[in-house]
């Protein structure tokens, strides 16, 4: 149940990031459900982002620990942007990030919104 809750929080954070950051879009695919395709795309993108952050991100953070120490932790934002860009490479999701600057800004927005929603909503 926790993974579904995390996917919903990620989906909400992605929707807010797509609203505020130009260059981030979702729902650019058709699953055959009409108007619900946009929300299915959003939920699947949130799920994939959660899986990427759970399995791939720790490996990247371990490898980049010296750079993170040199930048006093600011490199975590770059890693978040790379994870968001990695998720956008899965074309079946219908999620697009047009460049590294929207990915960087989107990662910051997703991190802040995800943190706030995790505080507000119970586990």
Three-state SS at 52: helix
Residue 71: both structure tokens together: 């930048």
Q: What is the spatial distance between Cα 105 and Cα 4, in angstroms, rounded to a whole number?
A: 25
pLDDT, tens digit (0-9, with 9 covering 90-100), for 92-123: 999 999 999 999 999 999 999 999 998 998 76
The pTM assigned to this predicted structure is: 0.91
Structure tokens at 17: 């990031």
Q: Is the pLDDT of residue 10 over 80?
A: yes
Among 18-22, 29-33, 77-81, 85-89, whose mean pLDDT is lowest? Answer: 29-33
**Band of pLDDT at residue 2, cut at 50, 70 and 90:** confident
- Of 117, 123, 102, 120, nearest to 12 (Cα)? 117
Model pLDDT for residues 19-68, shown as the tens digit of each residue: 999 999 998 888 899 889 999 999 999 999 999 999 999 999 999 999 99
**Owner of token pair 């619900």:** 36
pLDDT at residue 25, rounded to an integer: 94
CA distance 123 to 102: 30
Rg of the chain taking only CA atoms, in angstroms: 14
Q: What residue segments make up the domains of the chain, in order of their start? A: 2-120
Query: Smallest Cα–Cα separation from 52: which of 88, 100, 9?
Result: 88
Give, to the nearest 10 degrees, the angle between helix 75-88 and helix 100-120. 100
């Amino acid at each position: 149940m926790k993974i579904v809750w995390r996917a919903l929080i990620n989906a909400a954070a992605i929707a807010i990031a797509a609203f505020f950051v130009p260059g981030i879009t979702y729902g650019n695919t058709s699953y055959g459900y009409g108007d619900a395709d946009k929300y299915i795309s959003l939920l699947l993108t949130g799920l994939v982002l959660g899986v990427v952050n759970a399995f791939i991100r720790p490996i990247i953070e371990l490898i980049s620990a010296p750079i993170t120490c040199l930048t006093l932790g600011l490199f975590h934002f770059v890693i978040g942007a790379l994870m968001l860009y990695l998720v956008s490479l899965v074309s079946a999701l219908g999620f697009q990030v047009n460049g590294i600057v929207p990915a960087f800004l989107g990662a910051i927005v997703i991190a802040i919104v995800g943190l706030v929603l995790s505080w507000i909503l119970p586990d």
